[in-house]
Structure 1
Amino acid sequence: MEAVPIVQVENVSKHFTVRKDKSLKERVVNAALGRRHAETFEALHDISLDIHSGNTVGLIGPNGSGKSTLLKTIGGIIHPSSGRVVRRGRMAALLELGAGFHPDLSGRENVYLNASILGLTERQIDRYFDAIVDFSGIEDFIDTQVKFYSSGMYVRLAFAVAVHVDPDLLLVDEVLAVGDEAFQQKCLDKIRSFQLEGRTIVLVTHTLSQITDLCTRGIVLSHGNVVFDGAPIDAVGMLRGGFQSQRDADAAQRLERENALSAPARARVAIPSVRLVDAQGAPTTGVEIGQDVQLEVEVDAIDSVRDWRLGIAIANTFGQVALYSSTERLGLDPMTELSGRSTLRFSMPSLSIGPGAYTVSAALEHRDGTELARAQEATAFRVADNGISTGLASTPLSVALQPAR
């Protein structure tokens, strides 16, 4: 017998009314002239999906795709215009910064208020209170009104309450990006412990490495529609491909406008793919420190190109560049002709960057600086933690105690 889903979304659509007139005068004038002063915006369109207990589901998509609206609909914060959502079990939600907190109450009072809203009795809150405060790390300010809290303090306390109310279903909408790195890691560790306990998590994030690292399922939304539902790595790949297609379209339109203004014609060239491969040439998204890997950049030159250079950059999730190089720096002859489909292979023996998640970008340009093609964050990979060191760089380390003489 198939298990009953913890969340059922059945043919859900959500419409919002967007008013154009800002004042009473505008409304009166527009009504007199027969002008429409409101439009209907469809944020979600006929979405159906089931979420089963124990799954971690990532909702991703460009801004305005409907991710947060869907999450709020699942959480019961907003009601669908049509369709229905069925939920089972206790739910905790982190949907907006400070949501559920009263600014004039202290942190202590808000813990009791928020936890009671989430279904705990006063006795249960008494039992969990010390653990909530300890997890939040703001015990020195627990009796201060929360209107004086920083955004990071809001998130710390809200997340601490949410994870201590024993939820069957946890909804998280991007708010973890507000906390510092140490607290983000603490939250991610808690989420992983929830996964081991078989709890269900629905996560909205723009940090795509969290989707591949944490989620068992990825759902891509676009203009209020589900356009992909499947493996997280495939969902991230589809989203990145969509962004790249949009960038390519924007670049093509920009180039067309420039050419229309009698700008010099540029070579037609694209970077269809960037991939990391292991020593056997197999694509990989997970490597060990010191492993031999290669970065393959595929270039498709419809028009032949000379006097060029191609650069690659590996950056972490905070945008810090861990490694940059280019064909020019590595001594490849810039007059080598690029024509048709070809692959540039950057060999990186004994990869020596620190543990963590990284993205790879590549750009092709003339040596005069005119950009021809770009693949931004075209692929992603993770370097496993060897338990020895952290940071952007990794090097063999050892330690010895030298007795005093």
Structure 2
Amino acid sequence: MNTAVVPAGADGGDGLAIEVRGVSKHFTLHADRRDSLKERFVRGRSRDTHVFRALDDVSFAVKRGITFGLVGHNGSGKSTMLKILAGVYRPNEGEVMVSSKVDALLEVGAGFHGELTGRENIYLNGAILGRTKKQIDDSIDWIINFADIGDFIDEPVKVYSSGMTVRLGFAAAVAIEPEILVVDEIIAVGDEEFQRKCFDLMRQLRDRGTTIVLVTHSLSLATEMCDEVVWLDHGKVQMVGDADEVVSAYLTSVNEKEARQRALEQPEEEFPEDDQYKLNQGNGDCRMTGVELLDGDLDEVSFATYGKPLTVRVHVNAKKDLHDVELGLGFSTDGGVTIAGPNSKAAGTLYSLRPGDSFIDYKIDQVVFQPGRLWLTTCFVRDGQIFDLSDRRTELIVRADRTMDEPGLVTLAPGQWSKRPGLPAPGEGQQ
């Protein structure tokens, strides 16, 4: 294998746990497979083949003691890279240098034998990982306790659920504190309680100096857990660096791709002419005929971006002269909960509409809605008389170009936190 293992402490003083240099990995794929010996003898070898490049000239370095993440879409080469780091695959080109032995948790039940019990598999898995019998003996009680599978520990692994299998596999992998641990996103198979235990333990390992390389599709986890991140796309490195910066760049790319796709799929008219007014309510003196979303440069966009300017342009067709018209907007969740309802009258603005088409803009300096899907309601009204009500007819998608720090539907304006905890006045709060 083209992987050079440098003895621990012999990293030349550069402080690197892993160095990947120009690694490429390709697979030969057969369109017409001959799986059996008989098929190959009778039909010969498949001639319809092509080469798939899972990794293409990938280079990055992982410092000792940090948590390093790999992000990217499905099929970008993340898991292939982990398998090369773990020694499962050999690169076709390039080399990988590691400062010590790599422990890996890549697939549910990897290295387990279905006919053996959980206890027997702990010893088998430990031997595969290069551990001595004494090391396994000293850690087996901790493994069983952490995996929390009870009496099933002495049952064949083939009867385990996927969650039980991954719990046992994770516990066995980290029982002897590894110097380098590579983990694919299989711990997502576990339940909420076990996932919390895993992440707590990984934080403890990081604090003790373990180098962790983690594949994850959770970008919030990548920014929370990882110090640095590499972004892979179709086997190529797009960016390596600080986790927040790389994840933000990746999200921006995903948003741009979605915007292009939505633009291609967008119909020429938001509401077909025959059905244009069918679902609207009100007396029909005017009708909302469409809604556009515009960015800070007043260019049309497919979705709003959190923290960025947005103009909601409401198109209207009036049948006659109308004066003192109020336009109200409603932003609602899928469940019908209205989370904001600005209206022009409350802001001191009423409109005069001439017969024909026109539009009204509502400008937001910064979108405060959290990423997700909302529905927009528009209502043209005067003194309680409804001219047009379009109830949740317009979908409003909100995206972000970074991971969110706070939960919720909206983000509040920054508040003021006290500098230190306060103390109650003498006698206050005492019985």
Contact 1:21 1:27 in 2 (8 A): no
Contact 1:312 1:361 in 2 (8 A): no
Residue 230 of structure 1 is matched in structure 2 by: 241
Contact 1:310 1:363 in 2 (8 A): no
Residue 163 of structure 1 is matched in structure 2 by: 174
Residue 62 of structure 2 is matched in structure 1 by: 51
1:343 corresponds, among 351, 365, 370, to 365
Decide whether aligned partners of structure 1 residues 212 and 310 sit closer, same or farther in structure 2, where only a CA change above 3 A counts.
farther
Mapped to 1, the partners of 2:79 and 2:268 lie a distance apart of: 35
Decide whether aligned partners of structure 1 residues 84 and 311 sit closer, same or farther in structure 2, where only a CA change above 3 A counts.
farther
How far residue 247 of structure 1 moved from its aligned partner, in angstroms, is 1.4
Mapped to 2, the partners of 1:333 and 1:113 lie a distance apart of: 71
How far residue 17 of structure 1 moved from its aligned partner, in angstroms, is 1.4
1:374 aligns with 2:397: yes
Identity %: 35
Moved over 2 A (4+): 1-4, 22-32, 256-259, 261-273, 303-314, 323-327, 330-347, 359-373, 375-384
1:71 aligns with 2:98: no
How far residue 140 of structure 1 moved from its aligned partner, in angstroms, is 1.4
1:100 aligns with 2:123: no
Which residue identity lines up with residue 63 of structure 1 in the other structure? N
Deviations 1:261-297 (A, max 9, x none): 999896553245203xxxxxxxxxxxxxxxxxxxxx6
Mapped to 2, the partners of 1:13 and 1:69 lie a distance apart of: 10
How far residue 8 of structure 1 moved from its aligned partner, in angstroms, is 1.2
How far residue 340 of structure 1 moved from its aligned partner, in angstroms, is 8.8
Mapped to 2, the partners of 1:20 and 1:195 lie a distance apart of: 44
Deviations 1:5-48 (A, max 9, x none): 2111110011111211145899999999xx96111111111001
Mapped to 2, the partners of 1:30 and 1:252 lie a distance apart of: 48
Which residue identity lines up with residue 70 of structure 1 in the other structure? M
Contact 1:170 1:201 in 2 (8 A): yes
Decide whether aligned partners of structure 1 residues 68 and 258 sit closer, same or farther in structure 2, where only a CA change above 3 A counts.
farther
Report which of the two structures shows the higher radius of gyration computed on alpha carbons. 2
Mapped to 2, the partners of 1:363 and 1:379 lie a distance apart of: 19
SS state of the match for residue 142, structure 1? Answer: helix
How far residue 192 of structure 1 moved from its aligned partner, in angstroms, is 0.6
Mapped to 2, the partners of 1:103 and 1:126 lie a distance apart of: 21
Decide whether aligned partners of structure 1 residues 11 and 378 sit closer, same or farther in structure 2, where only a CA change above 3 A counts.
closer
* Alignment size in residue pairs: 341
Which residue identity lines up with residue 142 of structure 2 in the other structure? A
Decide whether aligned partners of structure 1 residues 309 and 94 sit closer, same or farther in structure 2, where only a CA change above 3 A counts.
farther
Contact 1:312 1:360 in 2 (8 A): no
1:208 corresponds, among 193, 213, 219, to 219
Contact 2:66 2:211 in 1 (8 A): yes
Mapped to 2, the partners of 1:370 and 1:30 lie a distance apart of: 59
Deviations 1:107-156 (A, max 9, x none): 00110011111111001110111011111111311111101100110111
Alignment of 1:169-184 (within 5 A): 169-184=180-195
Which residue identity lines up with residue 101 of structure 2 in the other structure? R
Contact 1:42 1:224 in 2 (8 A): yes
Contact 1:312 1:324 in 2 (8 A): yes
Residue 283 of structure 1 is matched in structure 2 by: none
Report the TM-score when normalising by structure 2. Answer: 0.69
Which residue identity lines up with residue 103 of structure 1 in the other structure? G
1:16 corresponds, among 2, 8, 27, to 27
Gap runs ≥5 in structure 1: 276-296, 315-320, 348-358, 385-402
1:129 aligns with 2:140: yes
Which residue identity lines up with residue 365 of structure 2 in the other structure? T
Mapped to 2, the partners of 1:204 and 1:313 lie a distance apart of: 32
CA RMSD of aligned residues (A): 3.7
2:265 corresponds, among 254, 268, 289, to 254
Mapped to 2, the partners of 1:148 and 1:258 lie a distance apart of: 56
Which residue identity lines up with residue 62 of structure 2 in the other structure? I
Mapped to 2, the partners of 1:81 and 1:241 lie a distance apart of: 32
Contact 2:78 2:232 in 1 (8 A): yes
Contact 2:330 2:342 in 1 (8 A): no
Mapped to 2, the partners of 1:262 and 1:76 lie a distance apart of: 61
Decide whether aligned partners of structure 1 residues 369 and 99 sit closer, same or farther in structure 2, where only a CA change above 3 A counts.
same
Mapped to 2, the partners of 1:298 and 1:364 lie a distance apart of: 18
How far residue 305 of structure 1 moved from its aligned partner, in angstroms, is 4.4
Using the TM superposition, name which of 304-313 and 111-120 deviates more: 304-313
Using the TM superposition, name which of 52-61 and 375-384 deviates more: 375-384
Mapped to 1, the partners of 2:87 and 2:368 lie a distance apart of: 50
2:306 corresponds, among 251, 255, 274, to 274
